[in-house]
Amino acid sequence: MKDIRTFSKSVRPAMRGFPTTPATPAQSGMPPGLFPADCDVVSFSGKTEDLQFGAKQKTSPLGLTGAWSKLSALAWDDLRRRDPDLDEFIDILDGKTTEDYLMDQILHDQFEVGEGGDIIIDKPRIKIPNFRHGNSDGNGGGGQGPGKGGQDGGQGQDPGQGQKAGDGKGNLKLMPWQHKYGPSEIAQIIGRKFGLPFLLPSDGESNRVRVTKENIKYVPPGDLHRKKTFRNALRRTVGGAVANGQDPDFNNITVNRSDKRYKATDFEPQPNLKVAIVYMADVSGSITDQLRDFTRTANRFVSYPLKYKYGQLAAELAGEDYSDAQYFGKDGSGEGSLKERFIVYTESAEETSEADFYKIRQDGGTRCSSGFNMAMEIIEKDYPPSEGWNVYVYHFTDGDNWGDTDNKNTVDTMKKMLNLGVRYIGHCDLGKKDNYPSDFRKAVLKEPSFKENPHVGSIGMPKKPKYDLDDYRQVVGTFLPANKEEPEWYDTAV
Amino acid sequence: MSIVNLTLAARALKKEPAYCKAPMQTTAMPVVPTRSASPEMPPQFGLAYRAYAAPHMSGLKFGNTQTPAPKASPTEASGEETPVATQHSRPIDYADDHLRDIWLSNDPRHEKRWLNANEDADRILKAAQAKGLDPQETAFMISSPAKLLQVAARGLPNMPHDWIHGMQLYDLAQNENAGLGHILELVLNTKPSVAYLLNTNTPVETRLVLAHVYGHTDFFKRNRFFKDTRPDQILEIIGRQRKELKSYVTDLSIPRDPNSSRNPVKEFMNKLHSIEDLIDRDAEEHPLADFEGTQYIQPVHPPEQFKKMTPAQLNQNDRYLYTAEDWLKMQEQLQKDAAPRKQKFPAGIERDLLGFLAKHSPTLSPWQRRILQMKREQQYYFLPQRQTKIMNEGWASFWHTKLVMEDPATTEDQISELSLLNGSVIARGQSGLNPYWLGFNMWQDLYIKAGLGVPLNQDTPPQYRKYDIHTISRVPQFDERKALARLYEVCAKERDYSFVEKYMTQSLAEKMELFKLEEEEGESPFSNHRKNSAAKAQAFQEVQNVLLGYLNYFGQPVLEVVDGDFENNGELLINHTYTTDSLNVEDTKQTVDIIASLWGRPVHLDTYMRKNPKNPASDLVAVRYTADPKKYEVQTFLREDRKATKPIQIENNGTLKI
């Protein structure tokens, strides 16, 4: 048996058709600097020392010793580039990632929220029909369900390791089974799917801008506009003479009433672009997990279009191009962006973070007025409509409120809110059988001042085994009411 | 009465085992370093895969294998030299890419590791041969994990292009990423065998994998079901298929669908994904007959109105449409239809649906028949590996356990790493059935029984049940030579079904905890020994039935062509033999539709369904799916005997709306 050293020397010259030195990154079309010189034997963690004999080995999740490394996004790219079949397959997957599929994933909570409001979903699986037993959904066979359900595969759970790699600009690199939608894309898709209307912001009394009006005819509210008046007189006198073939007389120009123009200064209201949403939810024992999920998804469907729409208006007024980065900032502090507050209540109310809002569960009865009172406080303190805030209040409960007195108090609070100038108060009854209105909703419906009031809306969402897109369409349609002047805003957007 | 807890059975009903599902699994586990080569390597070494004749292996001596190099391929003998293209001057071709693995093994950075591996390989091979193992000549390749996955996804490195391989690669890589599975090795059933070693394996892993590979290559050579697989030619055959398919894909003379921008050949291949494994999965011999000269069945199709009406019924207008000649033909046809058919077609039943379509479909073009035939050849090549999965993996695991632990070079500090690794390979598995685990335990049990002279199909005597593969050698009565001789006989003639049927015993099932009896409250296991032993026997029967249910036809539906000229109208009648469960409604509709588009005439599938899908004890209803390529939807009927009587609606969850 020969020493491998001899083997190397004797064989190399005979291997025609192959480079005599290892392929460099440049030769294989890879970005320089990301891989060591010999890209073919590099381990996927990209560390050279893994290749050294006797290097310390990692332990795998299965307890196997040996170099256990996940395929990074970059390694995936490399694999895809060198394997035409994989490339073709991923193209096919991209083609199957449609808007309908996206909505389906959102309904089933199968997505991650990335930075700045991005939504990241897993691409669909391709099912190949064949003769098989059983009428289950097809997850019965095979035992492989990668890509779906972040909890099982572990893809959603620990994105830290090898899942995402920087592309040099600080953006995260997606794994090949993921697809990302930007917030404005999501907003437009929701708008199209739900046929959402144009929303008119309030005309802010607090937000007036000085405007000079010129060229006012006949009405003298302000000063005479001497320049324009004289110009008109000149045009009439001289122009008339020239038209008649006479010499104009510049020394004798008269101003009559029709020549006079006036100018005036005014303060005009500008649309308010500050938005706040206050979410309220009943977290008493009667609210089930299903209703909670419904609340969360409905809130998402409402907030994306709101954010996008106000952001776009702000950009328009400022004469800039709209950009997601500005209006869906990481911390939500972009100028035209939207503030969100979350209140949970049973007998007493409590303000929470967004994450807790959908998790907290408490014992106790239901007193709606406590939630509304706290919302009122928050609005008065932080988002007074008199200072130009567009405030939207959304409320979810199963409607089992304590007694008529509390219903009356709550309705009074709602009236006060409307008097303050809150843009919209939406109420949703959850889980009532046969959509029969709860006592609280009855009180809202009975209140005469709420009838035909475009700033209040209520809807009942009956108990169902499964909520579909139509149910969300009803709720979102109620919470973002149509404006008759400019319908179908989304069709013309961007 | 105790409650029988069928741990395995319960899981079995939920899922088919993963290994039954993957259509083209080659044996995958651990392995390999490249060996030193003889200096007279042929100059066209670089063309190895491009020539598809595996000449790169023919000139090399791998390891200490004593076998002489195989005969040179015709290309090589004629001394032709094909010009070599530059590696980077054209798009990277997958098959070519693999050549670099071999070359890279010369990298000095690997020197020390692979030198050790070379020594290991020599030593282990000698030890194996001393025990009577007769491995085929084996070529080892060092490969990166990604390339190993690429081969694993295809089954063979140079399979024709198809995005479905991309899908399998995607799944494998995703599993690897999620920590759900790790492939240590890959062996191809070629001659000489090709084994891929991971460049990320440790020396100890490599040693274990080497022994495992020798187990596989011995099995390939020894087992009778592999004798028709043509391992010496398969790379060339597949390579030719790859070229041929490429020529079809780029052939502009193949008519395109004017409404579609897609390639007609690729569209056709997409249809085949649904039916490509419909071959006779029980076949003992693998009929790779040549199809040339086959007569296609061209049934006469009289117009519908000809069949239905007598001349008297034809109205005035029709008389002007047909000439007297037509009338005569019509009369003849009517008489033919009325007369009973002399010969049934096919004569018996035909389970090889792929071959039947390729041979007898009236509509397919020649290139379509060729593609069907290629798929069929591939399937028959991989069939023995599917039929012997448990035996094969068990055999390799048995040998790597034995060889590595008896290897004098295995030091004490390596034993913990080896046991850990070995334990994870032959572990029970989280879900489904791990063929390594089942196979290893069965071979170990047989080894013990054979060495003690106990009949192989009987329970292990109670006093020997605590022994394992290593400790049994301490028993004085145990004769290793006799044991191995007996194992070789079993290895040569069985496949999974017969193996489990004959040699799975109650004592083994109990030891492996395939079933467990749960005590009832207040009942002592000693108080009712007789009742318990009856319960155990019953539980074992159930477990064995479930196992055999898996292995019989891989647990997949058994479909047979019953009539190729059904209703004297060239229609196709397929029968599904109801065993445990009815067919999936949605998938069946789609698949029958695909078969109809390949047959060109209506296709019927007869099957049974439960009246109430939620109640497995409810009555069976005879149902027929009928797909007509000219109609948009697949229709479903109730049937009586061979006649469809009444249209019904079947919902996707299996509910019948009569």
Contact B164 A134 (CB under 8 A): no
Q: Which residues in chain B are closer than 8 Å to A6, comparing Cβ atoms?
A: 36
Higher pLDDT, B157 or A63: B157
Least confident window among A212-216, B68-72, B524-528, B589-593: B68-72
Q: What is the pLDDT of residue B48?
A: 27
Pairwise CA distance, residues B8 & B641, whole Å: 38
- Tell me which chain B residue has its CA closest to the CA of residue A70: B177
Phi, psi dihedrals of residue B359, rounded to the nearest 5°: -80, -45
Look-up of token digits 């149509």: A482
From residue A176, give the alpha-carbon distance in Å to each of A118, B148, B263. 17, 19, 25
Contact B94 A41 (CB under 8 A): no
Q: What is the pLDDT of residue A337?
A: 59
Q: What amino acid occupies position A225?
A: H
Q: Which residues of B274-291 are buried (b: 16+ CB within 10 A; e: fewer)?
A: bbbbbbbbebeebebeee
Higher pLDDT, A447 or A323: A447
Q: What is the pLDDT of residue B394?
A: 95
Q: Which residues in chain B are closer than 8 Å to A41, comparing Cβ atoms?
A: 104, 107, 109-110, 144, 199
Interaxial angle between packed helices B111-130 and B389-406, expressed in degrees from 0 to 180 and rounded to the nearest 10: 100
Contact B41 A14 (CB under 8 A): yes
A·B CB contacts under 8 A: 257
Q: Which residues in chain B are closer than 8 Å to A63, comparing Cβ atoms?
A: 420, 423-424
Query: pLDDT confidence of B487, banded at 50, 70, 90?
Result: very high
CA distance A139 to chain B (A): 9
Phi, psi dihedrals of residue B266, rounded to the nearest 5°: -70, -40
Pairwise CA distance, residues A420 & B598, whole Å: 72
Contact B112 A53 (CB under 8 A): yes
Q: Which of residues 247-266 of A touch B (CB under 8 A)?
A: none
Query: pLDDT confidence of B291, banded at 50, 70, 90?
Result: very low
Structure tokens at A315: 């950009």
Q: Which residues in chain A are closer than 8 Å to B15, comparing Cβ atoms?
A: 140-143
Query: pLDDT confidence of A28, banded at 50, 70, 90?
Result: very low
Pairwise CA distance, residues A293 & A358, whole Å: 8
Q: Which of residues 169-208 of A touch B (CB under 8 A)?
A: 176-177
pLDDT at B65 over 80: no
Q: Which residues in chain B are closer than 8 Å to A44, comparing Cβ atoms?
A: 145-146
Please tell me which of the candidates A7, A64, A86 has its beta carbon nearest to residue B182: A64
Query: pLDDT confidence of B347, banded at 50, 70, 90?
Result: confident
Contact A6 B21 (CB under 8 A): no
Q: What is the pLDDT of residue A143?
A: 31
Please tell me which of the candidates B115, B161, B273 has its beta carbon nearest to residue A4: B115
Higher pLDDT, B529 or B232: B232
For chain B, the straight-line distance linking the first and the last C-alpha, in angstroms and rounded, comes to 42
CA distance A75 to chain B (A): 9
Please tell me which of the candidates B106, B109, B556 has its beta carbon nearest to residue A51: B109
Taking only the tens place, the pLDDT of each residue in B71-103 is 434 433 333 333 333 333 233 333 444 433 433
- Tell me which chain A residue has its CA closest to the CA of residue B18: A142
Contact B18 A153 (CB under 8 A): no
User: What is the DSSP secondary-structure string of A374-415?
Assistant: HHHHHHHHH--GGGTEEEEEEEEE----SHHHHHHHHHHHHH
Helices and strands in chain B: count of H runs, count of E runs? 26, 13
Query: CB of B397 within 8 A of CB of B436?
Result: yes
Contact residues for B300 (Cβ-Cβ < 8 A; gap 6+): B333, B336
Contact B274 A68 (CB under 8 A): no
Contact B164 A12 (CB under 8 A): no
Query: CB of B106 within 8 A of CB of A9?
Result: no
Average pLDDT over residues A195-216: 69
Q: What is the pLDDT of residue B59?
A: 32
Pairwise CA distance, residues B582 & B608, whole Å: 6
CA distance A387 to chain B (A): 52
Contact A87 B576 (CB under 8 A): no
Q: Is A494 on the interface with B (CB under 8 A)?
A: no
Contact residues for A287 (Cβ-Cβ < 8 A; gap 6+): A281, A361, A398, A430, A431
Query: CB of A121 within 8 A of CB of A179?
Result: yes
Look-up of token digits 């991309």: B166
Query: CB of B76 within 8 A of CB of B125?
Result: no
Structure tokens at B436: 């390594």
ipTM here: 0.76
Q: Beta strand pairing status for B571-577 and B603-610? A: parallel
User: Which one of B62, B125, B177, B575 makes the best mutation probe of the A interface by having the most chain A beta carbons within 10 Å?
Assistant: B177
Q: Which of residues 57-116 of A touch B (CB under 8 A)?
A: 57, 60-71, 75-76, 78-79, 81-90, 92
Contact residues for A477 (Cβ-Cβ < 8 A; gap 6+): A194, A195, A196
Q: Which residues in chain A are closer than 8 Å to B202, comparing Cβ atoms?
A: 57, 65-67
Query: pLDDT confidence of B557, banded at 50, 70, 90?
Result: very high
Q: What is the mean pLDDT of chain B?
A: 76
Own/partner contacts of B301-306, CB < 8 Å, gap of 24 or more, are B301/B569, B301/B570, B302/B330, B302/B333, B302/B337, B306/B330, B306/B333, B306/B334
Give the pTM.
Answer: 0.69
Residue A397's closest CA among A431, A423, A356, A354? A431
Pairwise CA distance, residues A332 & A328, whole Å: 6
Query: pLDDT confidence of B165, banded at 50, 70, 90?
Result: very high
Q: What is the pLDDT of residue A250?
A: 84
Strand order of the sheet with strand A119-122? A111-113, A119-122, A178-181
User: What is the DSSP secondary-structure string of A124-171?
Assistant: PPPPPP---B--S-S-SSSS--TTSTHHHHSTTT-TTTTT--B-SSSP
DSSP 3-state percent helix, strand, coil across chain B (nearest 5): 50, 10, 40
Interaxial angle between packed helices A289-317 and A99-107, expressed in degrees from 0 to 180 and rounded to the nearest 10: 130
Look-up of token digits 């011999």: B285
Please tell me which of the candidates B17, B45, B178 has its beta carbon nearest to residue A15: B45
Which helix or strand (DSSP H or E) is residue B308 part of? helix B304-308
Contact A51 B199 (CB under 8 A): yes
Q: Quote the percentage of chain A above a pLDDT of 70.
A: 69
Contact A146 B587 (CB under 8 A): no
Query: CB of A52 within 8 A of CB of B157?
Result: no
Structure tokens at B282: 């029980």
For chain A, the straight-line distance linking the first and the last C-alpha, in angstroms and rounded, comes to 72
- Tell me which chain A residue has its CA closest to the CA of residue B557: A132
Query: pLDDT confidence of B649, banded at 50, 70, 90?
Result: very high
Total Cβ atoms within 10 A of residue B520: 11
Q: Is A485 on the interface with B (CB under 8 A)?
A: no
Q: What amino acid occupies position A50?
A: D
CA distance B219 to chain A (A): 26
Pairwise CA distance, residues A340 & A297, whole Å: 15
Query: DSSP class of residue B350?
Result: B
Q: Which residues in chain A are closer than 8 Å to B91, comparing Cβ atoms?
A: 84
Q: What is the pLDDT of residue A55?
A: 32
Q: Which residues in chain B are closer than 8 Å to A162, comparing Cβ atoms?
A: 177
Please tell me which of the candidates B107, B163, B591 has its beta carbon nearest to residue A131: B591
Please tell me which of A349-358, A477-486, B337-346 the model is most confident about, judged by mean pLDDT: A349-358
